[in-house]
Structure 1
Amino acid sequence: MKNKTLTYTSIAIAVMMSSAVAAKDLKVATSAQLGSLQYNTTQHFADYANEQFKKSGLDYNLKFFGAAQLGKDKDVQQKLKLGTIDLALLTSTLPTHVPEMALFELPFLVSDREHVAKIEQDVFWPYIAPAAEKKGYKVIGFWENGFRNITNAQRPINTPADLEGLKIRTPNSSWRVKMFKNWGANPTPMSFSEVFIGLQTGVIDGQENPYTNIYAAKLHEVQGYVSVTNHVYTPAYLTAGARHYKKFPSEVQDILEASAVEAQQWGYKEAARLEGELKDKLVAGGMKLNVANRDAFVNASQPIYDDFVENVNNGSAMLTKAMASAK
């Protein structure tokens, strides 16, 4: 009986030790493709944070899963709330659940990265991050996805009229769907992992994304035209489930949040470096490039602004502050 007791005790201790080790491995996910800015920034964040954990003597380790290995954005958002994924990089799908984030769905609102920094300080952290937390999402990093441009297989896009009848892939974002419908396109929500095949088979005619995502996904192989619109600047949000995040020790939270700030600056420098280079590579890859008529798109976008002000909590105040910070 004594030997059996020792055996049971040994097993119990082993299970407890195994659970303790597993609990210190934190999963970090992104649906972004290998080689994209989002993928690389998340990888950089995980590597940098792991260095800080090691220096601090904290037995924590971030395990990075890119290219939708742990699911598409919609699935990942649910897993964050459940705590089965610890951190994830989310972009255009989050505003559907947190309407305040739709500020960044307003076309042509953001002028440049200096303006982005002011909006982050004046609007994002005071208004939007707390709203996200109330919906169960703790944002710890405000990173870049980038300025979005339109590609398609039919013709150059110079004005909204050129989008008439085109099936344009959008993220699963109700705001992006409204935007392209307002411009005359036939918006088709689709996970980014399905876009290449959708374009190749003609299920969709085109899509819109920053250069980094277009090039990383090799969309130039199945698209003939890239139209420079810069219609939306999309941030990328390093996000945790709010309740799950509160369970982390404060020193772990400190390292994650400091590492997120460091990764933000790394990502901004990388984005600025790559922007012109990737545009040239898309053209070299066979795409025809044109610069769209910005005024024509701006004039067609007022209904999106009206919708935001009328239907989003603090919409008018946020918009006023965001526009004032551009001056």
Structure 2
Amino acid sequence: MMKKNRFINLALVSVIAFALIGCGSTAATKPADTAGSDSAKKPSVTVKLSSTSSKGGAMYEGAMKFKELVEERSKGDIAVQVFPDGQLAKDLAAIDAHKTGAIHLSLPSTAMAQIDPKFGVFDIPFLFKDAAAVTKFAHGEMWTKEFQPLFEQYGMYGLGFWENGFRHITNNKRPINVPEDLKGIKIRVPESKLRVAMFKEFGANPSTSDFSEVFTALQQGVFDGQENPFVQIEAGRFAEIQKYLSLTNHTYTPAYLVASKVWFDKLKPEQQEILKKAAVDAGDFTREYGAKVEGELLAKFKAAGMTVNTADVAAFQDKTGPVIDLLKESIDPAFVDKVVKTAKE
């Protein structure tokens, strides 16, 4: 059934993509502002970048920076159209569409763990101690030699290790200071077996859904709370409908700029190099952006009326052992240990 659904999603995405090519953008699939392109030269390549992130999110802002860098460095030869808010496709459908080149680029995050369990290591609680450790990992050999080659098995190239951010918990029931405070709380988590297992271990009642559906689900009481980085809390407008914000830093979630292999291989080498370099530089931008806006957003959330508390991180760390053991049941334990060691260096 899953394969059948994936096939249907891929077919729908292909129809949308080709309709866009033939008819131009519609109101439902209007790309982000294309200002900044070199209008004096008609591009030979137009890139469609799909993202589920909204304006203000690190992934969205990174996508716009990527667009700026590519169009500037290619001198107008390459144009980038950014489609936010899942307008073209949700993460898994976009990944399927990469197999045919119906979508050129996308920005999956936690969804990659459904494609290959090795990406589940980034759901390990408290894997990275701070932003500096993340940046070091993003430019290190573990990423370039162990993770980037994984994408090719699934018809993609992994171009960049981007920011999604350290995650925190919001809810409408009570402040979360220790794991026991999560007991009975219906919390939305992304599609990740490990994230579900982690919050069950903490005592919550976790369920999965796509990010684009979270605001409505919280508004309707389907969920009591959710967990996301500051930039995604802002992009999702969760401060409008959530009373409590608990600072936990429980997981760092990367995003990945990925390209359709069948499409990317048709580009000229110089075009490929421009996209590769811009992907790395835009990834650095997303981390800088996240650090810059974190303090501003926290002040904004407080001003919006959210009650903010700092959780007892040690109490949460005491509950993470079984989660890592669960991960090692589906991934080579030596690989897990190597990632943990690299992240701590």
Structure 2 length normalisation: TM-score? Answer: 0.83
2:335 to 307, 313, 317: 317
How far apart are the structure 1 equivalents of 2:225 and 2:83?
Answer: 28
- Counterpart amino acid of residue 67 in structure 2: A
Please tell me whether Structure 1 or Structure 2 has the larger radius of gyration of its CA atoms: 1
What is the CA distance between 1:321 and its match in structure 2?
Answer: 4.7
- Once the two structures are TM-superposed, the CA of residue 22 in structure 1 deviates from its matched residue by 9.4
Candidates 134, 154, 157, aligned match of 1:135 = 154
- Cα distance change, pair 321–77 in 1 and its aligned pair in 2 (3 A): closer
Name the SS for the 1:82 alignment partner: coil
| Cα distance in 1, alignment partners of residues 108 and 120 from structure 2 | 13
**What corresponds to 1:224 in structure 2?**
243
CA separation in 2, counterparts of 1:173 and 1:137? 20
Q: Output the amino acid matched with 2:289.
A: E
Residue 216 of structure 2 corresponds to residue 197 of structure 1: yes
Other-structure match for 1:29 = 50
CA contact (8 A) 1:119 1:322 kept: no
1:23 to partner: Cα distance: 7.5
Correspondence 1:115 to 2:133: yes
Q: Secondary structure at the match of 1:83?
A: coil
Paired amino acid for 1:95 = A
SS of 1:90 mapped into structure 2: coil
Which residue identity does 1:285 align to in structure 2? A
Counterpart of 1:7 in structure 2 is none
For residues 70 and 121 of structure 2, the distance between their equivalents in structure 1, rounded to whole angstroms, comes to 30
Counterpart residue identity of residue 223, structure 1: Q
Closer, same or farther in 2 for the Cα pair 1:211/1:61, shift >3 Å? Answer: same
1:211 and 2:233 matched? no
The more displaced of 102-111 and 115-124 is: 115-124
The alpha carbon displacement at 1:151 in A equals 0.3
Q: Which residue of 2 aligns with 1:77?
A: 95
In structure 1, the partner of 2:70 is 49
Match of 1:306 in 2: 325
The answer for the alignment partner of 1:14 in structure 2 is none
- Select between 283-292 and 265-274 the one with higher mean Cα deviation: 265-274
Structure 1 unaligned regions, length at least 5: 1-17
The CA RMSD measured in Å over matched residues stands at: 1.8
Aligned partner letter, 1:96: Q
- Whole-angstrom CA distance in 2 between matches of 1:148 and 1:87: 25
Partners of 2:128 and 2:343 within 8 A in 1: no
CA separation in 2, counterparts of 1:48 and 1:64? 13
Q: Distance in 1 between matches of 2:134 and 2:101?
A: 30
